A and B are shown apart, each in its own frame.
Chain A
C-alpha cells in the first residue's frame, strides 16, 4: 500500500448534535481524525458509537434531524466543508468522495438498471461520455470479480443477489475515481461465505486505485483485514487510535482490551451420556412453507444437560427446524420425539406439560418482550400459568428467578421492557423461559443482536443455568465463535439439509465436509494477514458466488 504523506481529510473537534424531545443533544463529542491519501482507516465501535454519523459528516452530510455543532472543522483536501455552500458540497459528492451503504438492496433505485445508476455521476460531472462510462463500469465489474461483467450492469437491482449488489455499489462508488470512499458496514448484512468475496474485492480495488477510505464496522476481525489504521469509538468519543498491527497486538485502553478479550470463554465439553434416551429427537423431518420445501430429512438428537449448536447461513433451515420442534410448523414428514414419545406435530394439540418442557429464547429481545407488560408479569405469567402460583408465592418465585438471572428484584420488578438495556432484556427473555421450569430451551441467535461484551455475559449465564438445572439447549447460530465457546455437539446445515454432525472437538478438527470447511475458513480472524493467506490458499479463482439467496 503506497501512501504519500499528504493529508486528505482532517477533522478537528467534530461535534454532531441530534434533535430529540425538543432539544439538541450532542451525539458525537469532539472527534479528531486525520486521514492521508491512500490510507484506509477503520472506525470501530458498538451500536451508538456514532461511527456512521462521523462517516457521513466526512462528506459534509448529516441525516435529517442532525447538525454539525459549533467549532467543528472538516477539512477535505484543503477545503473547509463546514462553511462550503451546499452547491459546492454537492459537486464533491460522488466525484471526490463516494459512499457505500450497508444495504445495497435498498440503496439502488428499483426503477433503473445498475449501469444507468453507475454512469449517473460521471455523466453529471461530464467526466466521461455515456459509452465510455459504461465501458468503464464493465471493467470495474470485472475487477470486482462480478460474474458476466459485460452483461450484469444491464440488470435491475432486484435481479441481482445481495453480495453482487454490494460489489456493484463499490464499483459505482469508484466510477469517478474518488479520493475518498466511506464504507458504512458494507458486509454486515451478508453471510460469512459471501462476506469474504466482497471484502477481498473491496480491498483489492481500493488498493489498485490507491483510494483513501473510512471503513465503518462493528466487527473487529473484519476491520483487521481492511484497515491500515484503526480508531476505536465509544458513545461518540474516541477511545484510542493506532495502526492495525499494534492495535491488535497491544491495545492500550481498558475498553479496547475488553473488546479484544471477549472470545476467551469456553465451556467444558460434555460427552453424550451412555444408554439413555435422548430428551429431544428429531427424526427424518421434512417441512415446507406452502409448496416450497425448506427441510429435507433432518435428524439429530439432543440429550439432557447438553448443548447442541445448529449452524448454517441464512436460508439453511436452522430456524425452521426449531419451528418444527416447537410445533409452530408441523412437519410434512417425520416426527419429533420427547423422551422417546412422539410429540403432536401441531403445538395446539400438545398438552400444557409438553408445552412447558420446551421453551424458547429469541434473537431480538425487543420483539420478544411485550413492551406494555411489566417485568413482574412477563416472568410471573408462565409461573402462574403452569404451576398455578399466585399472591405472595408468585412474587417469591419471580424474585427467585430474577436473582437467578442476576438482576436485582427490588429494582426491576415493576419496570417495563423499553426501560432496559439490550442485555437486560435478553436476561428477562431467559427468565421468562426459566419460569416455566423447562427441561429444554431453544436459543435462536440469542447473542447476535448484542454487543460482544454483553453477549459473553449472556453465554456465561446460560452455561451457569445449564449446570444448575441440567438443561438441554438447542443453540441456533451463524457465528462459529459462539459455537466454539458453548457447544457440546454441532449440527451443520445447508439448503435445508444436515451436512455434517458430531461432537464439537471432532467437528472442529479436519478433515471436514467441504461445506463445513468453507464455513469454518470464512470466519474472519483477528489476524491482519488472515484474508490474504486464505485467498492464497483458496486460489484466485475461488471468487464465484457460493451462496445465492
Chain B
C-alpha cells in the first residue's frame, strides 16, 4: 500500500501546484492589461480624482508580487476584495450564487449520470445494431447543438407552447425544494441532454475497448455466461474509465452552466461572471475564474485518484 499512497500524494501535490500556477495566471493576466487598469475600468472620461481613488483601492502603488500574495492569502480565507462596480464585497455576491450553480449542476448530474452509464453500457452491448447507429446519430446531434439552441427549443415546446414548466428559472432561498426543482427543470434538462450524449459515447467506447481484451475472450471460452462476463470480468476493470467519464462530465457541467444560466436567467455564478466581464469588474472576474478553475481541477484530481485506487496493479503491488 505504500506505493499507492505515494502515487496519490504525488498526484495531490501536483494538483496543488497546478492550482497555484493557475492563480498566478489569473492574477497576472490582469496585470498584462495594456496601460493603466484604473483608466481601463473607468474609461477616458474619468476624472483625476476618481482615477486616484481607483488606484488606491487596487493598491497599484505597490509591486505586483506583493499584491499577488495579498490577494491569494485573502482568497484562501474567502475574501476576494470589493467589486469595482457595486463596491460590495465580492464574496457576498458569489456565495449564494455559487450555491445556486452547484445546485443546478448536481440536479443535472443526478439525472444524467445513471441514465448515461446505463444507456452507454446498453449500446456497447448492442453495438453495431440499428439501435447503436440511431443512438450514435442522436448523441452526435445533441453534442453538436449549442446549449442555447437546446435551451430555447425546450422553452418553446415545454414552456411557451404547452406551459408545462416555467421558462425563467428564478429561485430564491425561501422556496421549497420541490418548487426549486420545478423552476430549474428546464435548465437542468438542457444540460442533461448535452452531458448524457457525451457520457454515453465515452462509456460505450470504454466498455467496447474492454470487451475486446483477451481476458474477456478467455472468459467466454471458459464457458462464463454473458451477464457474468460483464459483471465479473468487465466491470471491475471499467471503474477507472467510468470514473474518468463521470468526472470529466461533471467538470463540464460546472462550466457549461454559464450559457444555460444566461438562457434561463438563472441567478448563478456563471451569469455573474458574464456580467462582470462586460463591465470589466476585475475582482469579480478573477474570483469567478478561480472558483471555476478550482472546481475543474478538483474534479480531475478526484478522477485521477479514483482510477489509481481502483487499479488492481497498484492495489496489489508485486
Contacts and interface: CB of A to CB of B under 8 A. Distances in A.
- Touch test A–B (CB under 8 Å): yes
Interface of A: 56, 59, 61, 90-95, 98-99, 101, 103, 106-112, 120-121, 124-125, 155-156, 158-159, 172
B237 interface: yes
A124 B236 contact: no
Contacts of B233: 109, 111
A158 to B, nearest CB: 5
Contacts, number: 74
A331 B134 CA distance: 58
14 contacts: A91-B223, A93-B223, A99-B221, A101-B217, A106-B213, A106-B214, A107-B215, A107-B218, A108-B215, A109-B215, A111-B233, A111-B312, A112-B236, A124-B228
Contact of B236 (A59, A95, A103, A111): A111
Contact of B223 (A92, A106, A107): A92
Nearest to B128: A64
B84 to A, nearest CB: 52
Given A110-B313, A156-B316, A94 B236 contact: no
Interface residues of B, number: 21
A398 to B, nearest CB: 42
A94 B318 contact: no
B223 A103 contact: no
Interface string B237-253: 10000000000000000
A103 to B, nearest CB: 6
Contact of A121 (B213, B224, B237): B224
A120 B237 contact: no
B225 interface: yes
Nearest to B222: A94
Contact of B237 (A90, A92, A99, A109): A109
Query: Which 7 residue pairs spanning A and B have beta carbons closest together?
Result: A94-B223, A111-B236, A94-B222, A93-B223, A106-B214, A107-B218, A99-B221
Looking at A92, A95, A111, the one whose CB has the most chain B CB atoms below 10 A away is: A111
Contact of A110 (B220, B223, B312): B312
A491 B224 CA distance: 49
B214 to A, nearest CB: 4
Contacts of B215: 106-110
A119 to B, nearest CB: 11
Interface in B86-136: none
Looking at B221, B225, B236, B312, the one whose CB has the most chain A CB atoms below 10 A away is: B221
B263 to A, nearest CB: 44
B294 interface: no
A278 B313 CA distance: 48
Nearest to A173: B222
Contacts of A121: 222-224
B132 to A, nearest CB: 14
B262 interface: no
A109 B219 contact: yes
B312 A156 contact: yes
Contact of B214 (A95, A103, A112, A125): A103
A153 B214 CA distance: 20
